[in-house]
Amino acid sequence: MTSFRPAPAWLADAVFYQIYPQSFADSDGDGIGDFNGITEHLDHLSWLGVNTVWINPCFVSPFRDAGYDIADYLTIAPRYGTDDDLAKLVDEAGRRGIRVLLDLVAGHTSDAHPWFTAAAHDPDDHRYIWAPEGRPAGFVESPGPRPGSYLPNFFAFQPALNFGYARPDPAEPWRQPVDAEGPRANRRALRTIMDHWLRLGVAGFRVDMASSLVKDDPEKSETAGIWRELRHWLDGAHPEVVLLSEWGDPEVAVPAGFHTDFFLHFGGPSNGLALRSLWSNRSGTVDEAWDPLDCFFDAEGKGSPLPFVEAWQRASTALGSSGFISLPTANHDFSRLNCGPRTAEQLPAAFVFQLTWPTLPAVYYGDEIGMRYIPDLPDREGSVLGPRYNRAGSRTPMQWDDTKNAGFSTSDEPYLPVDPSPDRPTVAAQRADETSLLHLVRRLVALRTGTPELGPGGSVEVLNSGYPFVYLRGGRYLVVVNPQRNAASCPYGATHATRPLETTGVRIADGTITASGFGYGVFDLGR
Ligand code: BGC
């Protein structure tokens, strides 16, 4: 296996916080969030204790897929501000010990990108994957004078950049080798884009659809080759930055050069479902089979943490010290933690689990106050992918306080409607209440970042893999999580004293751990 420079030391202590910029804070009253809005709220992030922010794409775009359809990689979308505003955000964040990652959309552009317009006029242009005639399966008809059709990567208006095919075939001329002229130009372009923003001071990138580059690459070996090349370049030119992939398979993504990869909701046991009880299905596909999954966080107690624990164990053993697994609470594509009538009470236990498990936690904006997933919203910027897959519900405005639009914007037309519920949570109300979820999350983040045993490098020993879920970190910190509504207990052999660091409803006595419904606890065994 190719060896890389070890990940920068700061990554092991990272607590990520994802900002969907449209919805975080609108400083100029146009209804859409912006960089200055984020900068104005950095004190919230600093108070919360998160130290690495990642921001969804913020570049020039027609915004038919919320900015994942880029028309100019090197220019900030005016609605978010200017290069100077981003530089100020990075600088102000840095003063608070917070790093900023941008989103690198590597596999496709918007069909409004000048590269695509040029390609649609020029049969000798190979930046995209273009069938000279006809329309092979999955291709989209040429919009320009150039005949034939092109391959999209996600929506039809997101043409796939040409990084070649793992199995080229001269009989199908669009299946070019990975070292053909078009793929080489695109690899160079990725480096130019990354270098451009790294020079402004960002600390790396979350990489969109990172596994999608080379086509017909079942083992992903050719796609990995591209990322390995980029990682070697970064190791030399920008050794302090990180690449965080949206791949969903750390065992493949980390050897491919990523410093860390998300466990994502793409189906299979590694999909982060330990944190979910609703709005996920078994196959990971979005279809009529969509139904609740009996995951560990099922409030009725039908789940088991084992599929998750085993998937984590496998990936973690394969990775060793070569990289990290990241575990998000949610993201802009999938439902928030608080996504159903049964989930609100589970949030404290879910955060105790997420912030004490040996993965890198990523908090999706608003999850720290338990913002709700809002069902049935109309489409905004490509958010609705089908009747059962509505991403808008996870993208509603951040709820800061009780003023207009929950303090998100003074506009009469906010980007998406604010949660209409009269008792919607807000940052202001929860800051004033030390028993709130927000305060709990803050204390847990502080506990984690101040306790190396709770980080990704500390050992974990599962002591009970049912309800309650019980594990020991670093041979010293006992974690008890009972995400179901009923009380649960399990035997506990140790007799030494336990100092509670954070607990609600957990009792350790007479060789038994008893946890009330939705109870949780972190204890210091002091060994
Ligand atoms: C992003 C989505 C986006 C898609 C196409 C992803 O996986 O997270 O929001 O629609 O890539 O770019």
- pLDDT tens string 372-417: 999 889 999 999 988 778 899 999 999 999 999 999 999 999 999 9
Nearest residue by C-alpha to atom 9 in ligand 1 = 333
Q: Is it the case that residue 517 has pLDDT exceeding 90?
A: yes
Nearest residue by C-alpha to atom 2 in ligand 1 = 333
- pLDDT tens string 415-457: 999 999 999 999 999 999 999 999 999 999 999 999 999 999 9
- pLDDT tens string 16-66: 999 999 999 999 999 999 999 999 999 999 999 999 999 999 999 999 999
Structure token pair of residue 112:
């409004």
Q: Which residue has the tokens 């790396």?
A: 204
| Per-residue CA distances from 526 to 33, 119, 178, 496, 509 (Å) | 46, 65, 55, 9, 17
Structure token pair of residue 334:
């999938």
68 CA: nearest ligand 1 atom = 12
Instruction: Give Rg (Cα) of the chain.
Output: 23
Nearest residue by C-alpha to atom 1 in ligand 1 = 208
Measured from CB, residues less than 6 Å from any atom of ligand 1 are 65, 68, 105, 154, 208-209, 246, 332-333
Contact by Cβ (8 Å): 261, 254: yes
391 CA: nearest ligand 1 atom = 9
**Average pLDDT for residues 238-249, to the nearest whole number?**
96
Rounded to the nearest 5°, which phi and psi values hold at 112?
-90, 0
Distance from the alpha carbon of residue 380 to the mean position of ligand 1, in angstroms: 14
Residue 305 has what pLDDT?
87
DSSP assigned state of 7: P
Q: How many CB atoms lie within 10 A of CB 151?
A: 20
Distance from the alpha carbon of residue 30 to the mean position of ligand 1, in angstroms: 25
382 CA: nearest ligand 1 atom = 10
Distance from the alpha carbon of residue 333 to the mean position of ligand 1, in angstroms: 7
246 CA: nearest ligand 1 atom = 7
Rounded to the nearest 5°, which phi and psi values hold at 310?
-65, -40
332 CA: nearest ligand 1 atom = 9
Domain 459-524 part of CATH 3.40.1350.10: no
- pLDDT tens string 342-377: 788 999 999 999 999 999 999 999 999 999 999 889
Among 54, 154, 331, which is best to mutate for testing ligand 1, by the most ligand atoms less than 8 A from CB? 154
Distance from the alpha carbon of residue 397 to the mean position of ligand 1, in angstroms: 19
Contact by Cβ (8 Å): 253, 317: no
153 CA: nearest ligand 1 atom = 5
Q: Where are the domains of the chain?
A: 9-107+183-453, 459-524
What is the DSSP annotation of 357-395?
SSSEEEEETTGGGTPBP-TTPPPSSS-EEETTEEGGGG-
Among 19, 64, 103, 209, which is best to mutate for testing ligand 1, by the most ligand atoms less than 8 A from CB? 209
Q: Which 3 state secondary structure label does DSSP give 244?
A: strand
For Cα atoms 221, 225, 230, give the angle at the middle one, nearest 5 degrees: 150
Q: For 9-107+183-453, which CATH superfamily applies?
A: Glycosidases (3.20.20.80)
Q: Which 3 state secondary structure label does DSSP give 272?
A: coil
Nearest residue by C-alpha to atom 3 in ligand 1 = 68
Instruction: Please list, in sequence order, all residues whose beta carbon lies within 8 angstroms of the beta carbon of residue 104, skipping any fewer than 6 positions away.
Output: 190, 193, 194, 205, 206, 207, 208
Strands 140-141 and 149-150: antiparallel
